[in-house]
Amino acid sequence: MGEQSPVLEMTGIRKVFPGVVALDGVDFRMFPGEVHALMGENGAGKSTLIKTLTGVYEIDGGEITLGGKPVRISGPLQAQQAGISTVYQEVNLCTNLSIAENIFIGREPRRFGKIQWGRMRRRAAELLARLDLDLDVSAPLSTYSLAIQQMVAIARAIDVDARVLILDEPTSSLDTAEVEQLFRVMRRLKESGVAILFVSHFLDQIYEISDRLTILRNGQLISEHRVEELSQVQLVEKMIGKELAALEDVEDKAQSNRERAAGAKPLLEAEGLGRTGAIAPYNLTIHEGEVVGLAGLLGSGRTELARLLFGADKADQGEVRVDGKKVSLRDPQAAMKHRIAFSSENRRTEGIIGDLSVRENIILALQASRGWARPIPRKKQDEIVDKYIKALQIRPADPERPVRNLSGGNQQKVLLARWLITEPRLLIIDEPTRGIDVGAKAEIQKLVAELSTGGMAVLFVSAELEEVLRLSHKIAVLRDRRLVEELENSADVDADRIMQTIASGASS
Amino acid sequence: GSSDDSAKGGDGGSGDKIVLGFSQVGAESGWRTANTESIKASADAAGITLKFANANGKQEQQIADIRSFITQGVDVIAFSPVVTSGWDAVLKEAKDADIPVVLTDRAVDSQDTSLYKSFIGSDFKLEGKKAGEWLLKQYEGKNEPVNIVELQGTTGSAPALDRQSGFQEAIKANPNLKIVKSQTGDFKRADGKTVMEAFLQSEKDIDVLYAHNDDMGLGAIEAIKAAGKKPGTDIKIITVDAVKDGMTALAAGEINFIVECSPLLGDQLMQTVKKVKAGESVEQRIVTEETTFTQEQAKEALPTRKY
Amino acid sequence: MSIVKKRLFWPSLILVVMLGINVFTSNQFLTIQDGHLFGTLIDILRGSAPLVLVSVGMTLVIATGGIDLSVGAVMAISGAVACLLIQDLGNQNSVASVLLIIGIAIAVALVLGLWNGTLVAVVGIQPIIATLILMVAGRGLAQLVTDGQIINVQSGPYSTLASGFFLSLPVAFLIAVAAVVLTILLTRRTALGLLLESVGGSPTASRLAGISARRITVMVYVVAGGFAGLAGLIYSADIKSADSISAGNLIELDAILAVVIGGTALIGGRFSIIGTVLGAVIIQTLRITVVALDIPDKANLLFKAVVVVALCLSQSPEFRAKVFGRFKRRPAVEKVAA
Amino acid sequence: MTTMQTSPVVKGDGPQLNKRHRSFRPNTKHVPILATLGLLVAMYVSGLANYPRFDNPMVVVNLFRDNAVLLVVAVGMTFVILTGGIDLSVGAVISLTTVLTATLLKADWPPLVVLPAVLVLGALIGAGQGAVIHYFKVEPFIATLAGLFLARGLALFINEDSIPIRNDMWRELSDFRIPLADGVSTKPIAIVALLTLLIAAVVLAWTRFGRNVYAIGGNADSALLMGLPVGRTKIAVYTLSGFCAALGGVLFSINSTSGWAGQGNGIELDAIAACVIGGVLLTGGSGFVWGTLLGVLVTGLIRTLINFQGDLNVAWSQIIVGVLLFSFIVMQRLVTRKAR
Ligand SMILES: Nc1ncnc2c1ncn2[C@@H]1O[C@H](COP(=O)(O)OP(=O)(O)OP(=O)(O)O)[C@@H](O)[C@H]1O
Ligand SMILES: Nc1ncnc2c1ncn2[C@@H]1O[C@H](COP(=O)(O)OP(=O)(O)OP(=O)(O)O)[C@@H](O)[C@H]1O
Ligand SMILES: [Mg+2]
Ligand SMILES: [Mg+2]
C-alpha cells in the first residue's frame, strides 16, 4: 500500500464557526482499499472534517485533492458526483419517504424519465438482504426504529459506485449482529479498492476493521498511524491528551453495587403492561437502587417497553404500581410526577431542541415539572448548568450556544444532564452512550453506578451488550417484542448466555 | 338577518311564482347591506321567489353563481357586477338558456347590449359631478385658492373611478379649486380617519374634504375633531351615499353636502323583473331616482329616512 | 439574543428613515395641544395600537408553530358585541357599565380563542385551517350581531379607549404598551417563553421533556384571541361604531408580516416581542408615509412592495453577506483567528 | 434480588407483530384521501336529497369549470406546500396576467405572442421568488407576500380599471363548447385544468423532480445531505407555481374575456385551504394532488350547496360555510384517526 498514491488528500483544512475553531490546519489522507478510522473525543472535529470534505461547509482554508487533482466541492451533490458517498452522523434521511426511496432517491432507476417503482423496490430489497434485513421497502421510513434507519442510510451509501465511502458513527445504534454484517460489506468494498473513512467510539470495532487511523484533538491533527502500531491505551491517551487513569474501575464499582441493591424495596412494578402492535404484555419489577438492563436485537421492543413506563406511548393493557400504589402513566407529565425520567434514543427528533441554548435544553425538564409560573432563578440555572457542563465535560463549555451547533456526543450529554438535574427516582435511558467517546462513556457509566448506589433506579437500554452486562443488576431479555426472560446478573451470565437466550427465545 | 321561508327548498322554476336569481357583489359596506335588504324585502312583497348569492367581491365566484342560476333554471337573473368587463360569455350562456338578465347598481361594458334587458342603478359619474357642482357654486365669484382633499373609494372600483372623474370634470370650471391630496380610504370609516389624520398633518390648509362615501367622511370627521378643528365649518365636507349616519351628521352641521346614492332599488328591480318575465319591453337604462341634500334638507328628511 | 438584535438593525433603520420623511412632510410631527402630545408621531403610535396588539398575540401563536387567521374576525365580533351592548345602555357615559361591557367583549374573544386552541391542540387540525373556519364564520357572526349595519355609539368612556389621553399620552398607545410589557414579563420573567419556544422548536421533544404542549398551545390561542378582542375594541372605539364588515379585514396578513419583520420565524421556536412591535409600527408608519409622500393610489402597492422587499432582503444574512460581503469577509476571518 | 420472575406473559394471542403491521402501512397515507372522497360523495348525495335540480349533470360539470382557475393554482400550490413552503403571490400573479393579457391584446399584439409571454412572465416571477427564498434564505411567506404586493401593484399601475378583451381568439376560446352528453357541455378551461392536474400527478409520482419535492418537504437538511438538488428544486417549485398562477390568469381571462387588477384577490387562501382539506400537510412532505382536487371540489360543492339553498343572507352563508368546513374537517379527522 505504501507505494500507492492517496485517493484523497486534505491539507491544512481550516474551519471556523463563530466562536469556535473547529478545524485548525488538519491534514488527512486516504489510500484506496483501506479502512481509515478517524478518531477523537466528542467535539474533536471529526464530523466537521467530513462535512468540509463533502462540501456541506465551505472551508476557510486548505486544499482538497481527489485522485491527485485539486477539487472544489461545493455541496453533497457534487461530492457524490466526485465519487464520495457518505453516511452522516445523525441519520439524514427523509422519514416521510419509503425505505426504497430513501435508498434510491436522486438516482432512481428510470425509463424515459419515468421512475421504475417495481425495479426500485426489488433492488432495495436485494440490497437490504445483503445487510441481512428483511423489511417492507415500501413502508415509510418513519415507521422504523432508528437502528433500522441507520442501516438504510448505510445501504444507500454502499450501493453507490464510490471511490471514497464515509461512515460517520454508523454503528452507534447497531447490535453486534448488524455490526458484523456491516463489516462484512465493508471488507468486500475494501477489497474492490474503495477507501473507507470510518468513525466510531467503539475501540474494539476500530481495531477489528481499520487499517490506519488519524487522531484529532480540539480541531487539530495529532497523528496518523497504522493500527498495529498503536495499542488501545496509547490511542486513548493520544485522543484525550493525557494519561488514562479511571477508565477501568467502573467495572468494580458496578460489581460492588450488586449486593447492596438486594434488600431494596420495589419502586416500580409493571404487571401485564402492553400495547397492541408494539409490545406484548410484560411483568417487570424495578427496585430502588437497581440497574435493570434491557437486551435484545434490533427491533426487539426494548424502546417500546421503556416508552410505556414513561407514558411516552400509552399502554392499552396492564397496570403499573409505584411504591405499591397503582398509578396511571398516561403521559410523560404523569410519569414525571412519580419522578420517572426518560431520555429517548432519538436525540435529534425526540431529544434536543436545536434552537434553544445548552442551558435552556438542560433545565427544560426541571422547568416543565415546576410549571411555567415558577421559573428557575437565573442564578440557580447557571449554577446547575455549570455543574453539569463540568461533570459531563460538555464542550464547548458555553451554556448560551445553541445546542444544534454542538457535536453529536455533546448533545447526548446535554440530554443526560437534562434528566439528571430532575433527580429522578427511576431513570430510563435509551442508548445513553450513543456516540459518546471513551472517556465520557466511562464517566457516564460511573455516574450511573454512583447514582444507583445513591438509591436511584435505572432502566438501561443499550445496543452494546458489554455495557449492559457491566452495569446491570438484572437483565431483561427481549425478543420479537416480547419480554422472554429476566436474568440476575451474576458471574455466569455473559454475552454468550444472553445471545443464546435471544436465539432460543425461551427461558432456561 | 331575515330569511324568507317562502324560498326554502329550492323550488326553482316550478309553480307560478317567478324565481329570481340575484347575485350580489358582496357585503363590503352598510350601503350594500341596505341594498340587499331592499331587494329581499321587495321580492317578498312582490311575491317573487328570490335565490340570493353573494360573490364576496370575486368575479370568478359571481360568474359561477350566475351559471348555477342557469343550471337551476331560474326565471330571471339579476346581478350587481363586481367589475364592468368580462360578462359576455356567461351572459351569452344565460341568453342561450332563455333567461333574461337585469343588471343592478353597476354597469357592464358588453358591446352586445342585447345580452341584458336593463340596467337599474345610479350614475356614479353624475354623483361626482353633482358634488363638484355644489362646490363650484359655493366658491362662485371668490378668488382665493381652495384646497381640496379627496378620500377615494377602493382603488380601481367603478364608483371610485367615476366619482373621481365626475368631480374633477365639474371643478375644472374654477381654476382656484385644487385637489391637493387624494388617497384611498377603501370606503371604510377607520381608513377614512387614518388617512384624514395624515392629510391634516401634512397639509396646512384644508378647505374642503370630498369623500367618496359617507363612511369615510364620518371617519374623517373624527380625525378633524381630534385635530381641534370644526368639521363643516373649518373644513367643508362633501360626501356621497346619504346613509342614515351620514344624514345625521349632515343635519348636525358636520357635513355640508351629500349626494344621494340610493341602495333602495328593490322595488324598481321587481317591477322590471315582472315585466321582463311577462315579455314586456323595458328600458335599457333605468336610473335610480336620487337627489342631493343640504343641511336644511337633511333635517327635514332625516325622520323619514329608512336606512 | 444578539442575533435578533442584529436582525432588527435594518428594520429599525427603515423605520427611522420613514419617520424622518414624516418629520419633513408633516407640519406638526410632535407638538403639544390641549395639554397633551399631538402630531404625526402620536397618530402613528395611536394608530398602530390595534396592529401591535394583534401582532403580539400572533407572535405567541407563531412561536408554537401555529398561525391564527381568525384575528380579524375576532376583532369584528368583539367590537360588535361591545357596541351592541353599549347602544342599549340607558346612560352610555356610565364608566362602570362600559367597563363591564368591555370585559364581556374580551371574554367573548377569549372564548373564541379557546375554540381555536381546542381545534388545534385537542382535535389536531392544522392551525391554518382550524382558524380559517373562524375567520370565515366569525365575520358572519359579527354581522349577525350587528345585523349587517354599522352600530353607532356615543359613549364617552368607550371612545376614550381609542382617542382619550392619559398623562398626555394616547390611551390606545398606553393599552398597547401595557399589553406588550405584560406579555414580555409573562414570557420572559416566567418560564412561559422558554416553554413556548420549546414547543415551537420541537413538539415531540417537548412532550417527552414533560411539557404540556397541548395546554400551552390552547393558552396561546386564547391569548391571541384576547388581544385581538382588545384590538377590536380600540378599532371600534376609534370610529365610535362597530363596522363588522371591515373591522380587522386582512389584518392577519399585516400581523404575520409584522411578526416576520420582527425576526420570528414562521416555523416556530425563538420569538421576539419587541421585534414584532417594531414590525407593527413600521407597517403603520408605512401607511402614513404613503399619504405624506402623496404617492398616487395606483402606486401605493408598488411602494409597499419596495419597502417589504427591502425589509426582507435586509433581514437576510445571506443577502448582506453576498452584497456587502466584499468588504466584510476579511475582517470576519481575522476576528476569529485572533 | 430475590424476585426472580420468570417472565411473562402473553394474554390471548399477543400483540400484532411486524408482518401484520406491515400489510397495513402502504394504505395509511391514502386514508385521508379516501375519507375526503367519501365525505364529498356524502355531501353531494345530501344535495341531491334536498334540492330538486341538483341531479342536473351540469352541477358536476360546472364544478370543474367554475373551479378551473382555482384547481390550476392549487396544483401549483401543492408543489410549493409539499416542499414545506407557501406561495401567497398566486392571486396577484393572476391579476397581473389578466391585466397584461388584456392590455397587450388591446394593443393588438398577436395572441400567440401574448400567451407564451404572460406564461413566461408568471414563471419568471415565481423563479425570482424561489431564488430569493433559496439564496437569501428569506421566509417563503414574506418573500411571496412581497411578490404579491409587487405583482398586484404592477397590475394596478398598468390599469386600475377592468379591461375588456375583444380579441377573436380569446372570444372563440371562451365560447367554444365541448359537448359531453346531451345538454351537457363544458369549456376548454376545464379540460386545461384537468390536464394540468394529470400532468402534475404524473410528475409527482413518477419523476425524479417529483420525488425530490417530497424529500425536501420531509426534511430539507437531509435532502441536501443526500445530495439532492435542493436549491434547484425549490426554485423550480416556485417557478411552477408562478407558471400555474399565470396559466390560471390566462384561463380566467378566457373565462371572462377581460383583465382586472382585482382578479384572483384572495385565491391564495382558497388554494391553500383546498390543499389542506385534501390532506396535504402544510409542514411539507405529505399529500397528493388528488387530495388537492378533492379539496377544490369540497370548497366548490359547499358554495354550490349554498347557492342552491339560495335564501341565506350574507352573514348566515358565511357561518354555514364555516360550519360545513368545520364538520368536514372534523369528520375527516375522525375517520382518518380511526383508520390508523
Ligand atoms: N454548525 C456549527 N456551528 C457552530 N459550531 C459548530 C457547528 N458544527 C460543529 N460545531 C463545533 O465544532 C466542533 C467540532 O464538532 P464535530 O461535530 O466535528 O465533533 P465530532 O468530532 O464529530 O464529535 P462527536 O464525536 O461528538 O460527533 C464542536 O466544538 C462543535 O461545537
Ligand atoms: N427486523 C425488523 N423487521 C421489521 N421491522 C423492524 C425490524 N426491526 C425493527 N423494526 C421496526 O422498528 C420499530 C422499533 O423497534 P424498537 O424501537 O422496539 O427496537 P428496539 O428493541 O428498541 O431496538 P433498537 O432501538 O436498537 O432498534 C418496530 O416497530 C419495528 O416495526
Ligand atoms: Mg461527530
Ligand atoms: Mg431502541
For residue C150, the domain's CATH number is 1.10.3470
Residue A97: band (very low, low, confident or very high) from pLDDT cuts 50, 70, 90: very high
pTM across the whole model: 0.89
Taking the C-alpha atoms of residue D258 and residue D94, their distance in angstroms, rounded to an integer, is 12
Q: Please answer yes or no on whether C322 and D135 come within 8 Å at the CB atom.
A: yes
Q: Poorest-confidence range of B208-222, C18-32, C211-225? A: C18-32
Taking the C-alpha atoms of residue C166 and residue C162, their distance in angstroms, rounded to an integer, is 11
- Nearest-Cα distance to chain A for D65, in Å, is 30
Taken in order of first residue, the domains within chain A and their CATH numbers are 8-240 (3.40.50.300), 245-339+424-504 (3.40.50.300), 352-423 (no CATH)
A112-165 per-position pLDDT tens digit: 889 999 999 999 999 999 888 888 999 999 888 888 899 999 999 988 888 999
Touching chains A and B? (3+ Cβ pairs < 8 A): no
Residue C9: band (very low, low, confident or very high) from pLDDT cuts 50, 70, 90: confident
Touching chains A and D? (3+ Cβ pairs < 8 A): yes
Residue A508: band (very low, low, confident or very high) from pLDDT cuts 50, 70, 90: very low
Residue A54 confidence (pLDDT): 93
Q: Which amino acid belongs to residue A208?
A: E
Residue C220 resides in a domain: yes
Ligand 1 atom at shortest distance from the alpha carbon of A410: 26
Tell me the chain A residues in contact with residue D206 when contact means C-beta distances shorter than 8 Å.
114-115
Residue D8 or residue D241, greater confidence: D241
D210-254 per-position pLDDT tens digit: 999 999 999 999 999 999 999 999 999 999 999 999 999 999 999
Residue B15: band (very low, low, confident or very high) from pLDDT cuts 50, 70, 90: low
Residue B210: band (very low, low, confident or very high) from pLDDT cuts 50, 70, 90: very high
- Nearest-Cα distance to chain B for C47, in Å, is 7
Residue B87 reports pLDDT greater than 70:
yes
Taking the C-alpha atoms of residue C199 and residue C238, their distance in angstroms, rounded to an integer, is 37
Residue D10 reports pLDDT greater than 70:
no
A31-43 per-position pLDDT tens digit: 999 999 999 988 8
Residue B202 confidence (pLDDT): 82
Q: How far apart are the first and last CA of chain D?
A: 42
Note the ipTM here: 0.88
Residue A207 confidence (pLDDT): 93
Q: Which residue of C316, C319, C322 to mutate against D (max D Cβ within 10 Å)?
A: C316
Q: Poorest-confidence range of A92-106, C151-165, D200-214? A: C151-165
Give, as one character, the DSSP assignment of residue D184: E
Question: What's the whole-number average pLDDT of chain C?
Answer: 86
Residue C167 or residue C71, greater confidence: C71
Residue C148 or residue A269, greater confidence: A269
C191 by DSSP, 3-state: which?
coil
Residue D29 confidence (pLDDT): 67
Tell me the chain A residues in contact with residue D212 when contact means C-beta distances shorter than 8 Å.
105-106
Q: Please answer yes or no on whether A349 and C204 come within 8 Å at the CB atom.
A: yes
Residue B12 confidence (pLDDT): 43
Residue B150 reports pLDDT greater than 70:
yes
Q: Which residues surround ligand 3, an ion (CB under 5 A)?
A: A 46-47, 89, 407-408
Residue D316 confidence (pLDDT): 83
- Compute the average pLDDT of residues B31-57: 89
Residue C216 resides in a domain: yes
Q: Ligand 3 centre and the CA of A173: distance in Å?
A: 14
Tell me the chain B residues in contact with residue C138 when contact means C-beta distances shorter than 8 Å.
none
Residue B8 confidence (pLDDT): 39
Taking the C-alpha atoms of residue A149 and residue A94, their distance in angstroms, rounded to an integer, is 10
Residue C221 confidence (pLDDT): 96
Residue B305 reports pLDDT greater than 80:
no
Question: What's the whole-number average pLDDT of chain A?
Answer: 88
Residue A262 confidence (pLDDT): 59
Residue D195, burial from CB neighbour count under 10 angstroms (0-12, 13-18, 19+): exposed
- Compute the average pLDDT of residues C274-292: 90
Fold of D29-339: ABC transporter involved in vitamin B12 uptake, BtuC (1.10.3470)
How many domains are contained in chain C? 1
Nearest CA to D139 among B83, C259, B224, A100? C259
- Indicate which residue's Cα is closest to atom 19 of ligand 2: A299
Q: Please answer yes or no on whether D281 and C305 come within 8 Å at the CB atom.
A: no
Residue B280: band (very low, low, confident or very high) from pLDDT cuts 50, 70, 90: confident
- Compute the average pLDDT of residues B213-233: 90
Q: Poorest-confidence range of A214-218, A247-251, D20-24? A: D20-24
Residue C172 or residue A490, greater confidence: C172
Ligand 1 binding pocket includes A440 (Cβ within 6 Å): no
Tell me the chain C residues in contact with residue A430 when contact means C-beta distances shorter than 8 Å.
none
Q: Please answer yes or no on whether C246 and B182 come within 8 Å at the CB atom.
A: no
- Compute the average pLDDT of residues C53-62: 96
D110-123 per-position pLDDT tens digit: 999 999 999 999 99
D141-191 per-position pLDDT tens digit: 889 999 999 999 999 999 888 899 988 898 888 888 888 888 788 889 999
- Compute the average pLDDT of residues A327-334: 91
Ligand 1 binding pocket includes A52 (Cβ within 6 Å): no
Question: Which ligand minimizes its atom distance to the CA of A44?
Answer: 1
Residue C330: band (very low, low, confident or very high) from pLDDT cuts 50, 70, 90: very low
Residue C68 confidence (pLDDT): 95
- Indicate which residue's Cα is closest to atom 22 of ligand 2: A303
Residue D24 confidence (pLDDT): 38
Q: Ligand 4 centre and the CA of A239: distance in Å?
A: 29
- Please report, for chain D, how many H helices and E strands are present, in that order: 15, 4
Ligand 1 atom at shortest distance from the alpha carbon of A57: 1
D275-310 per-position pLDDT tens digit: 988 888 888 888 899 999 999 999 899 889 988 888
Ligand 2 atom at shortest distance from the alpha carbon of A301: 18
Residue A1 confidence (pLDDT): 45
Query: Which residues contact residue C238 at a Cβ distance below 8 angstroms, ignoring those fewer than 6 apart?
Result: B190, B193, B222, C159, C162, C163, C172
Residue D13 confidence (pLDDT): 36
Q: Which residue of D134, D319, D334 to mutate against C (max C Cβ within 10 Å)?
A: D319
Query: Which residues contact residue D86 at a Cβ distance below 8 angstroms, ignoring those fewer than 6 apart?
Result: D77, D80, D140, D141, D144, D272, D282
Residue B38 reports pLDDT greater than 70:
yes
* D327 in contact with chain C, both atoms CB, cutoff 8 A: no
Residue C337: band (very low, low, confident or very high) from pLDDT cuts 50, 70, 90: very low
User: How many CB atoms are located within 10 Å of the residue D128 CB?
Assistant: 18
Residue A259 confidence (pLDDT): 57
A294-309 per-position pLDDT tens digit: 988 877 889 999 999 9
The Cα diameter of chain A in Å comes to 72
C162-205 per-position pLDDT tens digit: 887 788 788 999 999 999 999 999 999 999 999 999 999 999 99
Taking the C-alpha atoms of residue B38 and residue B15, their distance in angstroms, rounded to an integer, is 24
Nearest CA to D161 among C2, B156, A32? B156
Residue A405 reports pLDDT greater than 70:
yes
Enclosing domain of residue C196? 47-319
Residue A507 confidence (pLDDT): 44
Residue C94 resides in a domain: yes
Residue A124 confidence (pLDDT): 94
Helices marked H in C66-94: 71-87
Residue A84 confidence (pLDDT): 93
Q: Which amino acid belongs to residue B172?
A: K
Q: Ligand 2 centre and the CA of B166: distance in Å?
A: 77
* D316 in contact with chain C, both atoms CB, cutoff 8 A: yes
Residue C250 confidence (pLDDT): 85
Residue D8 confidence (pLDDT): 36
Q: Which amino acid belongs to residue D253?
A: S
- Nearest-Cα distance to chain A for D204, in Å, is 10
Give percent of chain D with pLDDT exceeding 70.
Answer: 90
